[in-house]
Amino acid sequence: MVSKIQVQNLRTWYGEKQVHHGISFHVEPNEIFGIIGPAQSGKTTLLRAINRTFEFTAGTRQEGVISVDGEDVKRVRDVYELRRKIGMVAPLPVGLPLSIYDNVAFAPRSAGMRNKGELDELVERCLTQAALWDEVKDRLDSLGTKLSGGQQQRLTIARALSHQPEILCLDEFSIAIDPVTTMRIEDVLKVLKKDMTIILVTNLVQQARRLAARTMFLWNGEIIECDKTEVIFGGKPADKRTHDYVNGIFG
């Protein structure tokens, strides 16, 4: 079976500062793959390298191969197609200054979808999946930026689902939202797992424990350990640093 994402010997730089020191791992289809690690260890950069938004930042450089569905992302014919294959949820919610409806319809419209019926259906489905539909169904025309922080984060998730991605990357999605909503979204993720591969970057180690099938511990741009979640959290991980980190001794 082909891995959904295969990363080989990835090394990245912001100017002179090296972020990743040659990391390799793979993600299986339809699994929830957890990435944990302290701040500044290169988690966000990794996601940005996968969907190739990393190169938008001036002065960045990258070596090694990242392939999605066996295809090198550096060589894909249509980079926008690649980005649509990957749903990305940023740590801080970003409601675009459009109506709630347009926020969700933005991606499919950019991709060329024009049919009103299809769009309506899609918007409703995505908002429902993101656990936001009931709260906003009566005011789809109001501005997305005027929602509360938690609602905006769910709107961001709805937008990430709107282009029907095969991979969903969540980058510390629960920073800006309350625990109850977090739990609701975690339930949603368990359901979504049937349809897509999920990469869950989180600084809440317990969240990875609850959701992920396998977990990777990234520290200072190096993989300390990558194994089944039970092993990482099982009290006897291969590396002592992993043990210390997941038990809150450092980090």
Partner 1 sequence: MTMHAEASPTPVPFVVNDAVRRKMKHEKIAKGIFATMIVLMLLPLIGILGYLVSQGAPLISWDFLTTNPAKGMTQGGIWSALLGTIWLVIVSLCISAPMGVMAAVYLNEYARDNWFTRIVNLAVVNLAGVPSIVHALFGMGAFVLFFDMGRGILAASLTLAVMTMPVVITSTREALGAVPMSFREACWNVGATKWQTIWKIVLPNSISGILTGVILEISRKAGETVPIMFTGAVFFKKIQEGDFFAYGLNDQCMALSMHLYTVTTQVNGAPRELPFAVATVLIVSIILINSTAIATRAWLRSRKKW
Partner 2 sequence: MRAKRPGYAVFAEKGIEWIIRLCGISAIIFVFGIFFFVFREGGPILWEKGTDFRLGDFFTSTDWYPTSMENKRYGILLLIIGTFTVTGLSILIAVPFAIGGAIFLSEFCTGKVKEWLKIIIELLAAIPSIVWGFIGITVINPLIQSWFDVPVGLNVLNASIILALMAMPIMVSIGEDALKAVPDNYREAAVALGATRWQMIFRVLLPAGKNGLLAAVLLGVGRAVGETMGVLMATGHSLNNPYVKLDGSFNPMWMFESCRTLTATIASELGETSVGSPHYRVLFLIGIVLLTITFIINLTADLVVKGIRKQK
Distance CA 209, CA 222 (A): 21
Q: Binding to partner 2 by residue 113, rule CB under 8 A?
A: yes
The dihedrals phi and psi of 35, each to the nearest 5 degrees, come to -120, 120
Q: Which stretch binds partner 2 (CB under 8 A): 43-51, 67-75, 86-94, 103-111?
A: 103-111
Of 1, 16, 112, 117, which one interacts with partner 2 (CB under 8 A)? Answer: 112
Q: Which of residues 94-123 bind partner 1 (CB under 8 A)?
A: 94-98, 106-107, 110-111
Rule CB under 8 A: say whether 82 interacts with partner 2. no
* Dist. CA 251–CA 249, nearest whole Å: 7
Q: Does 53 bind partner 1 (CB under 8 A)?
A: yes
Contact pick of 4, 20, 154, 159 for partner 1 (by CB under 8 A): 159
Q: Is residue 163 at the binding interface for partner 2, with CB under 8 A as the rule? A: yes
Q: Which residues pair with 32 in a beta bridge?
A: 198
Query: In whole angstroms, how close is the CB of 97 to partner 1 at the nearest point?
Result: 4
Q: Which of 5, 123, 160, 177 binds partner 1 (CB under 8 A)?
A: 160
What's the start-to-end Cα distance of the chain, in Å?
A: 36
CB-based burial label for 57 (10 Å; 0-12, 13-18, 19+): exposed
Phi, psi for 207 (deg, rounded to 5) = -65, -45
Segment near partner 1 (CB under 8 A); pick from 4-12, 120-128, 155-163, 175-183: 155-163
How many residues of this chain interact with partner 1, rule: CB under 8 A? 30
Note whether 175 binds partner 1 by CB under 8 A. Answer: no
d(CA 66, CA 247): 31
Number of residues that this document lists for the chain? 251
Residues that bind partner 2 in the complex, under the rule CB under 8 A: 84, 108, 110-114, 118, 163-164
